[in-house]
Amino acid sequence: MDFGQDILDEFVIESREHFEHIEDEILELSRQKESPDRELVDKIFRSIHSVKGAAGFLGLDQIGRLTHVMETLLSMVRSDKMKPETYFINSLLAGVDILNIMLEDVDQSNEVDISSVYDRLNDLLKGADYREVRNDLKTDICLENPDEWEAGLKINRLALKNLPSAHRFLYILKYDLLELSKTLGKSPVLLIRELLDIGEIVDSKIEVCSRDLSEGLPEGPLKYFVLYSTSLTPDIIKSALQVSENDIIPIDKEKLLDTDAGSLNINSVIMPSVLPEQAVSEPHPSPIPKDRDQQETAPAGDASHSEIAPSVLPKQAASERHRSSVPKDRHQQKAAPAGAASQSEERHDIRVDLEKVDLLINLVGELVIAESMVTNNPDLAGLELENFEHSAQNLRRITSDLQDVAMSMRMIPLSKTFRKTVRLVYDLSNKVGKKCKVELIGEETEVDKTVIEHITDPMLHIIRNCVDHGIESPEERKAAGKPQSGVITIEAKHEGGEVLIRISDDGRGLNRENILEKAMRVGMLKGNKDYCSDQDIFRLIFEPGFSTAGKITDVSGRGVGLDVVKRNLEKLKGRTDVRSVPGKGTSMILRIPLTLAIIDGMVVRVGTASYTIPMLSIRESFRPDFAQITAPMDEQEVVKVRDKLISVVRLHKLYNIVPRHTELHKGILINVTSGNRSVCLFADEIIGHHQTVIKGMPSYVASARGISGCTIMDNGDVSLILDVGSIIDMSERDI
C-alpha cells in the first residue's frame, strides 16, 4: 500500500488548482472594498479551507498554520467584521505567494520560514475589532464520545456560523480508511475530495498514533471521524458517500449553537432522525434570502451592540441570527440556495501527461502521411478501383478527423495567462503609484500549449511597459482630462489561422520625436528622418538596446525588453505590430499561428531541391513579364508588382543550387511577407500545396540559414520549411 508520495502529489496539484483561482478572486475582492460579495468571499474561503483540511491531514503544519490564519481573516470579512482594505488584500496575496512557494517543494514545506507573512496576517487579525469573533473563537465545543474516540471533535461557534447557509445538516461520519482502500480502492485523498465536493469538513480525527499518512497506512482498522457539514439529507448522504446508516450521526446544529464552550457528550446533540418529507416539502426561496440582504446592509459596528442586547432590531440582529435561534430566521438560513459550484455545468476531464499527447500527435502525423502514401500510391495509378477509392475516402475522412481531435487536445484557453496579467498589473501599479485597471476580452480563446508557454513572457513584458511607460501618473492624467485610473485592455481572438492578441493602454502614447532622437543617437537610424513613416519609427522600439525611459526603474527600462518580445514572437513565427496615438495610448498587436505543430505550405522546386513556404506568409505567386523586371547597377533585381517595387531573392543563389531556370520570366516568383517587409522568392516551379506536421531540424544541421524546420511530404521525401522572416533579413543584409 504505497501511496505516500502519490497523496502528496495529488495534494499539490489540487492545491495549485485552488490557488490558481484564488489570486483572481482576491483581486476581484479588492475592487469591492465597501461591500464585498459574499459569494466571492465564500469561494475564497472554501478554497483555502480545502487546502487547510488536506494539509492538516498530511501533517503539513506550516501550510496548515498559514491557511488557518488566512481562513480566519476571511471569515471576518464574511461576517462583515472586516473590510478588504488594500493592506488586507496585499497580505492575503503575500500569503498565497508563500503558499505557492511551499507547494513547489511540499516535502520541505515545514522548513519554510513563514514568520513574516504569518505575523503580518496575525497582526491584521489582532488589530481588527473582532471582539465577537474572538468570543466565538473561544467557544470551542468539544464533542465527546468516550466509547468511540479519545479526543473530541472540535468546533467553535465562528466556524459553525460560517458554514454555508445551504448546509442545513451536520453529521459525524465514521470511516475505516483501511477498509475503504481495500474494498473500494479509495484513497484518503479521494475520500476527502468526495467529501469536499458536496460539503465541508469542519473537523476530522484519525485514531492512530502518527498523523503523517504519507508514511503509509498502518495495519488494523484505521478509524477516521469527520464532523461534516452539508446540504444533503441523511437519506441522500448515505448513498452519496456510501456510508452505512450506523456510521452517520446527525448532529443538531441549533443545540450546538446554544452550547457554551467546553466538552459535550455527543449523545446530547444527536438529532432525532430527520423526516425526509420535511426536507423535500420545504419551499424553495428566492435566490437571495432576506437575511443576507440585511446582513450586507448592516453597519459593521452594529454587530457588537447586538451582543449586548440579543433581541433588538432585526437589522442589528442579522449577523446574530445563528445564535438568536428564532425559528423564522433559522428557516431562512436553511433554505438558502446551494453553492454556485454545484449548479454550474459539470466538466469531465482527466489529467494526461503532455508527453503522451505529443506522442499521439506525432503518431497521428505519421498516420496522415502514411494514409496519403497508401491512397496516392504510384502503383495504383491508372487503375480503376471503385471499391478501393470508396474505402480510401473513408480512411481519409477518419484520419483527418483524428488529426483535428489530436490537435485540439493541445489547445488550451488563454485565460490562465490572462489572469496572470491581472495580478501583475495590480502589483506594478501599486509599486509605481499609478492607478490601472485591466480589461480582459476573449480569454477563452484557445491556443496551442507551446504557443502559450512562449507568449506568456512577452505579454508580461509588454504589460510591464504599459504600466511603467504608457499609463501616466494620476495627476498627469487628470491634467490631460482623462479618468485618473488608466485602462489596459488585453484582447484575444482568432483571425484566419492566427491568434491575435492586442494589448492596449490609454496612456500617453509613443513619442515619435523621442524615439527618433534616440535612434539617431545610438546610430540605429541613418539618413533622413523625414522619410520614415510612423510605423517604421515605432518598430524601432523592438530593436535590441532600445529604451527611451528617462530613468531605469524597478519595473522596466533597462533596454532589454521589447527586443525579447520580438525574438520570442519570431520563434513562434509570430509577428508584432505597434500602433500609437499621442495622448490616446498605444496598442501592441501580437499575431501568432494557432499551432506550431502543423503547417499549411506551398511546395516549390529549385533544381533538385524542394522547399515548403508557409501559406500564411505568401501573398501571391506569378510569372513576371520582361517589363516588370529591373536590374539596377548594384545587381539587386527588383520586380514591379502593381505600383510597388519588390526585391527578388533567388533561392538557387541563396542556397547554391543548380536551378533549371535562371531567367526570372521562365521560373516563378512568390511574393512573401513578414511583418511589413516583403520580397519575391524565385523558384523553378510550384509543385503543390500540402498540410503536414512540422518537425524540428535535427540539431546537427540546425545552423542552416533561413530554414525553420522540415516536414515529410506525401511521397515520404523530406522538405525544408523556409523561414521567410530570416530570409528577408538575410537579403537585406546582403544589400
Partner 1 sequence: MTDSQDKDFTDEDLYDDEFEDTQKDKYLTFDIGKSVYGIEIYYVIEIVGIQKITEVPDMPDFVKGVINLRGQVIPVMDVRIRFRMKQREYDDRTCVIVVRNDDTTIGLLVDTVKDVLDIPENDVSPPPKVSEGNSRRFIKGIGKSNDEVKILLDLNKLLFDETLDSLPNSSQS
Q: Which is nearer to partner 1, 312 or 363 (CB)?
A: 363
Q: Which is nearer to partner 1, 175 or 611 (CB)?
A: 611
Report, in Å, the least distance between residue 605 CB and partner 1.
12
Residue 497 dihedral angles phi and psi, to the nearest 5°:
-90, 15
Write the DSSP symbol of residue 698.
Answer: P
Report, in Å, the least distance between residue 649 CB and partner 1.
13
Order of strands across the sheet that contains 153-156: 153-156, 140-144, 262-265
The CB-based long-range contact list for 643-646 (8 Å cut-off, 24+ gap) reads 646/671, 646/678, 646/679, 646/680
CA gap 234, 276 in Å, rounded: 8
Which residue in the block uniquely carries the three cell numbers 497580505?
A: 91
Report, in Å, the least distance between residue 645 CB and partner 1.
27
CA 470 to chain centre: 25
Q: Which is nearer to partner 1, 338 or 697 (CB)?
A: 697
Q: Which is nearer to partner 1, 30 or 692 (CB)?
A: 692
Q: Which is nearer to partner 1, 561 or 706 (CB)?
A: 706
DSSP track, 556-568: S-SS-SHHHHHHH
Nearest to 366 by CA among 692, 11, 7: 692
CA 583 to chain centre: 33
Q: Which is nearer to partner 1, 13 or 704 (CB)?
A: 704
Which residue in the block uniquely carries the three cell numbers 489529467?
A: 351
Report, in Å, the least distance between residue 253 CB and partner 1.
59
Grid coordinates given for 243? 456510508
Cβ contacts of 532 within 8 Å, gap of 6 or more: 516, 525
Q: Which is nearer to partner 1, 606 or 648 (CB)?
A: 606
Report, in Å, the least distance between residue 498 CB and partner 1.
22
Q: Which is nearer to partner 1, 163 or 361 (CB)?
A: 361
Q: Are 698 and 705 in contact (CB under 8 A)?
A: no
Nearest to 603 by CA among 716, 695, 713: 713
Q: Are 524 and 536 in contact (CB under 8 A)?
A: no
| Total residue count of the chain as it appears in this document | 735
**CA–CA–CA angle 124, 129, 134 (5° rounding):** 90
Grid coordinates given for 339? 453553492
Decide: helix, strand or coil at residue 560: coil
CA gap 185, 177 in Å, rounded: 10
Report, in Å, the least distance between residue 43 CB and partner 1.
42
Q: Which is nearer to partner 1, 654 or 668 (CB)?
A: 654
Report, in Å, the least distance between residue 286 CB and partner 1.
60
Report, in Å, the least distance between residue 408 CB and partner 1.
22
Report, in Å, the least distance between residue 457 CB and partner 1.
18
Report, in Å, the least distance between residue 136 CB and partner 1.
59
Q: Which is nearer to partner 1, 359 or 522 (CB)?
A: 359
Residues that bind partner 1 (CB under 8 A): 359, 362-363, 365-366, 369, 608-610, 654-657, 695-707, 709-710, 712, 716-720
Q: Are 592 and 687 in contact (CB under 8 A)?
A: no
DSSP track, 234-281: HHHHHHHHT--GGGEEEE-HHHHHHPPSEEEEGGGGBPPPPPHHHHHH
Report, in Å, the least distance between residue 701 CB and partner 1.
5
Q: Which is nearer to partner 1, 368 or 565 (CB)?
A: 368
Cβ contacts of 150 within 8 Å, gap of 6 or more: 207
Q: Are 58 and 107 in contact (CB under 8 A)?
A: no
Q: Which is nearer to partner 1, 217 or 727 (CB)?
A: 727
Report, in Å, the least distance between residue 600 CB and partner 1.
19
